[in-house]
Amino acid sequence: MTLTADDILQIHALLADYGHIVDDHDWGRVDEVFAEDFIFDRSAYGIPDLHGAADIIRTFLGRNMYAHFTGNTTLTEAIDGVVNAHSKFIAFPNDGPPMTGDYYDTIVLTQAGWRLQRRRAETRQRKFFD
């Protein structure tokens, strides 16, 4: 499979929609971003992964970011028809200082369009000039 310009635009929109839906707790739209077998890989934090939209909602409900930006995204097509994305994020938690990090995503084409199948987040520590 070769990604078309339209595929690339749809994937970038998908990654942007994640921030809007999660930050706004717009849970009626979760099926627009998550594949049914979605996994939020939290191994970088030593805590259990989240499985599926219901697990995301249950975990994020009542605590989250008030703003969330994703950018500098690169896409790589895998042999098995999935797309791997690497993005930078800036997040502004309800409590605490802003944080930055990386998203490593596996994105699949479903009958409903491109969806996140797996997301691994890794935050970066402020080490510059420290």
Is pLDDT of 102 > 80?
A: yes
Distance CA 60, CA 62 (A): 6
Q: What is the pTM of this model?
A: 0.90
- 52-99 pLDDT tens trace: 999 989 888 876 667 889 999 999 999 888 999 999 999 888 888 888
Domain 5-124, architecture per CATH: Roll (3.10)
Please classify residue 12 by burial: count the beta carbons closer than 10 Å to its beta carbon, then call 0-12 exposed, 13-18 middle and 19+ buried: middle
